[in-house]
Amino acid sequence: MTRKRWLLAPVYSLLCSLCIGQVAHAGGLDQTTFSPLILFEDGGYAEISAQRRDITVSGALVATPNVGAQNVLQNRTTLNLGYKQDLGDRMGVALQITTPYAANTAYNAAGYPLNGTTATLESRAITALLSYDIGQNAFAYGGLRLLQSDGDIYVSLNAGLPNVFSYRFDGESDTGLGYVLGLAYSRPEFGTRLALSYTSPIDLTFSGQEGRVLGAAGATPALSDTRFGVEMPATLSLDFQQGIATNTALFGRIQQSRWGGFEIRPNLYPAGALVTYRDDVMRYDLGVKHRLSEAWGISALYSQEPQTGGLSSNLAPVDGLRAFTLGAEYTRGGAAIGFALSEVRFDDTTTGLGTTPFARFNGNRARLVTIRLSHRF
């Protein structure tokens, strides 16, 4: 079998996208990052993937380390869909339905100052892409990205600031529109692939009802209509692949998520911004994949997200991670099934109330299991 034939084989081309982008922040707001790799598939292609995230994130107060909260980030399952179709010899279209952002935080610890606090964020993104072969082994791609999101928040603070309070926001769904632009280069005979992608920021307006009660924790605030804006961040990513031996290739991604300056600042929240990110987030993935036979392929991937530093949000108490992913895929005819297991270790971080250190979150982790079914036609 020639290298060119092997590099185009289904089991090989699927392993990159099965592993890369599956870890994301694992415990933060990012869930599934945009990937252009579906555009490299030949002919018609469809996939469905499900991921289970089992997260262990616990912390203890800085002032009284014997007072802590266990498992404040809840386990969750996400589902993603993808479809790609050629349009003649030079063009292709793709459609992706993903969960780019999500959060499910709950403090259930008697004696902890945030006991009773909950926050949920759900989102769905529909990305429609068009690619065009511009010659010389290169193609350009772009499209629109529709983001729908909604969330609910209840904060009960009984210590840690000059005033205790209760705050509640019941959100309604909102939709924003952004775009994707990219340029790719491919030399299958050498196992070479590069794809540079930019996803634009998307403005959302969270509307709903909110209220607060100052001086009392655990209270039920009277609610009134409200609305406030949030800009979801742009991303810039480089996906790459290079054959290094027969049936073996390196692959990876470098991504910058422009979270710097991001904040969620409801109108009536009494402690300033609810969530703040001071700096952009970098992400590095590097892996190797190997074809065992016509049907089987395996891969291994290391991922790192350096810490941004500073105080983290109590609603997303993670900052930085390291992860190792193992993947395998079996192909028969046009159908394939893939499996990936990721072990994630979060870096230690300290959360804050305003500018005051509040709780330390050390030694936390997550385990992610991803299953994907795909079919070529």
Per-residue model confidence (pLDDT) at position 17? 65
CA pair distance 284, 234, nearest whole angstrom? 17
CA pair distance 44, 323, nearest whole angstrom? 32
What percentage of the chain has pLDDT greater than the value 70? 92
pTM for the model: 0.90
> At 189, phi and psi to the nearest 5?
-65, -20
Q: Is the pLDDT of residue 356 over 70?
A: yes
- DSSP annotation of 215 reads T
What are the tokens at 375?
């079919």
What are the tokens at 151?
């969330």
Cα 187 to Cα 9, 98, 178, distances in angstroms: 14, 29, 30
Place of tokens 């924790």: 217
> At 3, phi and psi to the nearest 5?
-65, -40
Give the Cα-Cα-Cα angle 8, 14, 19 (nearest 5 degrees): 140
Per-residue model confidence (pLDDT) at position 340? 94
Residue from 210, 257, 250 nearest 236 by CA:
257
- What is the pLDDT confidence band of residue 295, given thresholds at 50, 70 and 90? very high
| Position 35, amino acid | S
Which CATH superfamily does the domain covering 3-376 fall into? Outer membrane protein transport protein (OMPP1/FadL/TodX) (2.40.160.60)
CB crowding 166-181: b at 16 or more within 10 Å, else e: bbbbebeebebebebe
Q: Is the pLDDT of residue 1 over 60?
A: no
* Contact yes or no for 71/54 (Cβ under 8 A): no
What residues does 304 pair with on adjacent strands? 284, 322
What are the tokens at 8?
């185009």
Residue spans of the domains in the chain: they are 3-376
Q: Is the pLDDT of residue 261 over 90?
A: no
Residues 6+ apart with CB under 8 A from 225: 207, 208, 209
Helix (H, G, I), strand (E, B) or coil at 304: strand
Per-residue model confidence (pLDDT) at position 217? 87
User: E-strand spans in 215-320?
Assistant: 224-232, 235-245, 248-257, 262-264, 275-277, 281-291, 296-305
- What is the pLDDT confidence band of residue 8, given thresholds at 50, 70 and 90? very low
Radius of gyration of the chain (CA): 22
Per-residue model confidence (pLDDT) at position 120? 92
Per-residue model confidence (pLDDT) at position 35? 86
* Contact yes or no for 174/148 (Cβ under 8 A): yes
CA pair distance 265, 205, nearest whole angstrom? 12
Neighbours of 46 (CB within 10 A): 17
Stretch 96-124: mean pLDDT? 92
* Contact yes or no for 30/364 (Cβ under 8 A): no
| Position 159, amino acid | A
Each residue's pLDDT tens digit, 207-255: 999 999 998 888 899 999 999 999 999 999 999 999 999 899 999 999 9
Residue from 100, 98, 111, 59 nearest 316 by CA:
59
Per-residue model confidence (pLDDT) at position 20? 66
Per-residue model confidence (pLDDT) at position 11? 42
- What is the pLDDT confidence band of residue 14, given thresholds at 50, 70 and 90? low
CB crowding 313-323: b at 16 or more within 10 Å, else e: bbbbbbbbbeb
Residues 6+ apart with CB under 8 A from 142: 129, 130, 179, 180, 181, 182
